[in-house]
Every structure is written in C-alpha cells, then in structure tokens.
C-alpha cells in the first residue's frame, strides 16, 4: 500500500564513516529530529544535551536541523558530525571514591539541593555529574594538604602580574584560603577553617571544565581583585564586609557556567532563560549556586554571623555578581561616572558602586598580566566562543560576529575589546583608586600595542 511517503522525511547520511538512512514524520519538532540524528550518531542518551550536531551538504554548506529539513537522496547524502562534546563524563572527577563512600550518605541533603540548582544549567546531565558536586568533608581534610607559603609568595599574590599558570588547583585553593586569612576575614566573621576548606572545595567542584569559564578563571578574577585592592591600597579603606563581599563574589561569580553565554540561553530558550525570564540568566544562576553552597551547613562559612549581617552580605554579593553581566556595563559606568569627581568612600551607595567596578575590572583583567600569562586566555575564550557559534549555527540560532570563527581574528578581537571596553573601564576606576597607572593600566596599553602590531601584520598579509 502506498503509505504517504510525503508525510515522512527520509535522510541519507554519512556518519562515523558509514552510511545511514533515517526517517521521521514530517510534523516532528526540532527536538524529535535531533533525537533521531543523535541515535544515528551513536550518542548515548545521557550525553545528548552536551553534544552539538552538525549536518553538512556535499558542497560544505551547513544544513539547519529543524522541521524545515526535507528529504535528500543517496546521491545528495549529507554528512553528520558530532562537533562538540562540551561535558565529559564524570571520569575525570577529582573526588576521591573512598571519601565519597563516607560522605555521600551524610551529605545527601546537600547533594540534592546543589545538584538541583546545577541541573538548571545541565538538565540532562548524568548521575556522575551530580556526584561530582559532593564537597569533600573528610574530617581529616582540615589537617591534610596544608600549604605553607613564604612571605615572598604572600607578597607576590598581591600583585597584578601574578602568573596563574604556575599553580595547581589544590594550591590555588590554599591561596584563596590565604586571602581570607590575610584580610582578617576568618577572625572578623568567625569563619570555621574546616568549613572554609570544604566551601572552597565545593566551589572548585562546581566550576565546569569549559575552555575559559572554569575554576582557573575564577581564581584569576579573585586574585586580580586581591591585586587591585592591594596595589591601590583601597584594602585599608574598605570595610571588612566589603572585602568579604568582594572575595566571595569573585570566587562564586561564574559558578556552574555552562560555556554558552546569555544570548545563547535566551535564544535557545534554555531552562535558565525561562527561570530567570531572560534577565541575566547566567549571573543569577552563578549567585544561586553560590548561595546553595552557603546554605548547606557543611559549606556555610557564614554560619557564625548574625542574620542581619548575613542579609547584608547576601545583598552585596548578589549585587556584585549581577554586575559582571556585560549587558549592565553601560549602566554601571554611567552611575559611577557621576561620583568620580567627588567620590566619598564613607557613603555606602558610592562604596557599593566602587565594589562593583572592582569586580568588573577583575573579571576582564587578563590583559593586566604579562603577555605570556595573558595570551593563552585569549585562545581559551575564542575556543569557547567558537564552540558556541558552531552550536548556534547547527541549531539554527542567531550568532554574534565576535564569536564566529569565520569572522573573528584574535588580534582584531583584542584590539577592539582592550581599546573600547577595558581601557575606558580601568581609566574611570583610576579616577577614584590611586596607583593604577604604572602597575595596572600601563600593561593594558602595552597589550593593546602588541595586538595592534599583530593586526597590522595579519592585515599586511592579505
Ligand atoms: Zn568571569
């Protein structure tokens, strides 16, 4: 019987070096079509959300995967590629299995709550990914892995030229702990040291292995904030609560970043975009994951502060993390500009704005570091951007030119970003904070020259 072949779409594919034929009803949704293609590409169901499919015609043209896809023939066979596997399985997890046996039962409540928040960013992540979120609460931990840093290292940590690549993750955790200690915050806020270690471990475990937005970026931003407040000596004028807010905001500011920016979240209508109504979905999520950790008794470093102080810390921290959304850049610059000529550090609102400016500076600060430290970060960022635009093309979503591997050059991107975003931000901050020119702004200008020369060379070749 002649079944209505016009009601089905039949696609001839080349996938993993073999020929496949797949079919689906014409009325299928994008999701349904993708699931057929994922099956053809042998992608396990636990990983389907973490891969990007790319369908190309024989002439290399990208075919958008969606209801408009029509049948082809064996002679016009498409190639199906799995172009990106963003999230690896839990195999590389750093949590020691022995410790997990002891801690999973104890921490059940916490694992559930953290993983529920984490699931917003990764709704289809497998169970391994959730276990990854168990912080280490081995009671021996407090006595173990003790790092003693020399005075030289402690001073080096306060400099904006600090080389992040020299330090292992565990050392970075110990350096973060040192910042709490060195600024007197452990004493001031009666922070339990074992809880602080678990908190920092929980932080590290809740950063994803993205090319750019990973735990190393978290460390760099925090260290740069620390470097800025020491270089400018503003550390002596900020209140303890401002310092605590800055420190935990920097540490938590990109928690559980999925590697795709707000534009992607909104255009792809992800769970995060829906939950936060397209308003800074990522930054809202980072803050929510941070406060999920801070709610769990095992990792709550604020358990000894009075309620009123907690509320103030929470408010300040949310304000700081939301300030890292570049969509708010102009608004914050304009608000700060109003006060620069007459800045009053004793005024709470003005201090709040300054703290927002400091975290914003720290978040985009790579070019303050020496070129050999800063330059690898550009490649990391472009890798993450390119993966996003590949995915957007594959999913038929709009792409931003600055993320498109066809349109962006490293030098071009850097010249624009440093010249139009970074330098104005730092120069405005320098109207209030002293000592920025030599140690902070000069290196940025040198970096701009470096990339301008690179741009001239690449343009010269064309
Ligand atoms: Zn960041």
Class of domain 145-368: mainly alpha
- As annotated, the active-site residues are 213
- pLDDT confidence tier of residue 2, bands split at 50, 70 and 90: very low
In 3-state terms, what secondary structure has residue 404?
Answer: coil
Alpha helices, DSSP H only, in 296-441? 307-323, 329-337, 348-363, 371-394, 410-417, 423-430, 436
- pLDDT confidence tier of residue 56, bands split at 50, 70 and 90: confident
What is the enclosing helix (H) or strand (E) of 453? helix 442-461
pLDDT digits (tens, 9 = 90+) for 148-188: 899 999 999 999 999 999 999 999 999 999 999 999 999 99
Asked if residue 62 has pLDDT above 50, the reply is yes
By DSSP bridging, strand 78-85 and strand 8-15 are: parallel
Segment among 48-57, 249-258, 332-341, 387-396 with least mean pLDDT: 48-57
Interval between CA 329 and ligand 1 midpoint (Å): 14
pLDDT of residue 204: 97
Q: How far is CA 403 from CA 139, 165, 300, in A?
A: 45, 25, 38
pLDDT digits (tens, 9 = 90+) for 267-289: 999 999 999 999 999 999 999 99
Cα(89)–Cα(39) distance, integer angstroms: 18
* Choice between 117 and 388, residue whose per-residue pLDDT is larger: 388
248: tokens are 């935990």
Interval between CA 283 and ligand 1 midpoint (Å): 10
Asked if residue 361 has pLDDT above 60, the reply is yes
Asked if residue 20 has pLDDT above 90, the reply is no
* Choice between 224 and 82, residue whose per-residue pLDDT is larger: 224
The CATH T-level fold of domain 8-85 is: Ubiquitin-like (UB roll) (3.10.20)
Interval between CA 314 and ligand 1 midpoint (Å): 19
Domain parsing of the chain, residue ranges: 8-85, 145-368
pLDDT digits (tens, 9 = 90+) for 76-123: 888 888 765 433 333 333 333 333 333 333 333 444 455 566 666 665
CA nearest to 406, candidates 384, 388, 389, 381: 389
Average pLDDT over residues 248-270: 98
Interval between CA 1 and ligand 1 midpoint (Å): 60
Cα(18)–Cα(221) distance, integer angstroms: 46
Cα(266)–Cα(251) distance, integer angstroms: 25
Asked if residue 41 has pLDDT above 90, the reply is no
For the purposes of burial, counting CB atoms within 10 Å of the CB of 267, is it exposed (0-12), middle (13-18) or buried (19 or more)?
A: middle
Q: How far is CA 146 from CA 74, 205, 228, in A?
A: 64, 19, 27
133: tokens are 């979120």
* Choice between 60 and 340, residue whose per-residue pLDDT is larger: 340
Interval between CA 196 and ligand 1 midpoint (Å): 22
pLDDT of residue 46: 63
Assess whether the region 8-85 and the region 145-368 belong to the same CATH fold: no
pLDDT digits (tens, 9 = 90+) for 123-134: 544 333 322 343
Interval between CA 221 and ligand 1 midpoint (Å): 7
Helix-strand-coil split of the chain, %, nearest 5: 60, 5, 30
Return the number of other C-beta atoms located less than 10 Å from residue 163's C-beta.
12
Cα(194)–Cα(351) distance, integer angstroms: 31
Interval between CA 259 and ligand 1 midpoint (Å): 11
Interval between CA 219 and ligand 1 midpoint (Å): 10
pLDDT of residue 458: 84
N-term to C-term CA, the chain: 61
pLDDT of residue 129: 32
* Choice between 21 and 240, residue whose per-residue pLDDT is larger: 240
Segment among 41-45, 285-289, 449-453 with least mean pLDDT: 41-45
User: Helix 97-106 vs helix 108-121: angle between axes, to the nearest 10 degrees?
Assistant: 100
């Amino acid at each position: 019987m002649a079944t209505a072949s016009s009601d089905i779409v039949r696609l001839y594919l080349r996938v993993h070096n073999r020929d496949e034929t797949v079919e689906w009803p014409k009325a299928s949704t994008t999701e349904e079509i993708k699931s057929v293609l994922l099956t053809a590409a042998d992608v396990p169901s636990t990983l389907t959300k973490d891969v990007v499919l790319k369908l190309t015609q024989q002439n290399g043209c990208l075919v958008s995967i969606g209801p408009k896809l029509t049948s082809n023939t064996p002679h016009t066979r498409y190639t199906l590629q799995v172009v990106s596997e963003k999230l690896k399985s839990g195999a590389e997890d750093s949590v020691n299995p022995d410790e997990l046996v002891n801690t999973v039962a104890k921490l059940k409540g916490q694992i559930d709550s953290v993983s529920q928040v984490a699931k917003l960013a990764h709704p289809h992540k497998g169970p391994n990914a959730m276990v990854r979120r168990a912080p280490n609460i081995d009671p021996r931990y407090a006595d173990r892995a003790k790092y003693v840093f020399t005075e030289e290292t402690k001073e080096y940590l306060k400099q904006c030229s600090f080389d992040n690549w020299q330090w292992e993750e565990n050392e970075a955790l110990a350096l973060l702990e040192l910042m709490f200690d060195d600024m007197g915050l452990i004493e001031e806020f009666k922070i339990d040291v074992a809880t602080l270690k678990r908190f920092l471990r929980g932080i590290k475990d809740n950063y994803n292995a993205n090319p750019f937005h990973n735990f190393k970026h978290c460390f760099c931003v925090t260290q740069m904030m620390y470097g800025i407040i020491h270089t400018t000596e503003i550390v002596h004028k900020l209140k303890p609560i401002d310092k605590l807010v800055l420190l935990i905001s920097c540490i938590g500011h990109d928690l559980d970043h999925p590697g795709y920016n707000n534009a992607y979240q909104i255009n792809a209508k992800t769970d995060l975009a829906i939950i936060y109504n397209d308003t800074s979905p990522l930054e809202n999520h980072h803050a929510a994951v941070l406060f999920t950790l801070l709610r769990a008794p095992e990792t709550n470093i604020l358990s000894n502060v009075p309620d009123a102080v907690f509320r103030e810390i929470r408010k300040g921290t949310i304000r700081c993390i939301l300030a890292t959304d570049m969509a708010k850049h102009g608004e914050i610059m304009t608000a700060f500009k109003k006060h620069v000529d007459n800045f009053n550090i004793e005024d709470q609102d003005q201090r709040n704005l300054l703290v927002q400016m400091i975290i914003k500076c720290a978040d985009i600060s790579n070019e303050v570091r020496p070129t050999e430290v800063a330059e690898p970060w550009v490649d990391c960022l472009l890798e993450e951007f390119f993966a996003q635009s590949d995915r957007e093309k594959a999913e038929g979503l709009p792409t931003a030119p600055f993320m498109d591997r066809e349109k962006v050059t490293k030098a071009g991107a850097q010249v624009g970003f440093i010249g139009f975003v970074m330098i104005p931000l730092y120069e405005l901050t320098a109207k209030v904070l002293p000592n920025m020119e030599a140690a902070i702004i000069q290196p940025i200008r040198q970096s701009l020259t470096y990339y301008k020369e690179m741009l001239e060379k690449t343009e010269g070749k064309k």
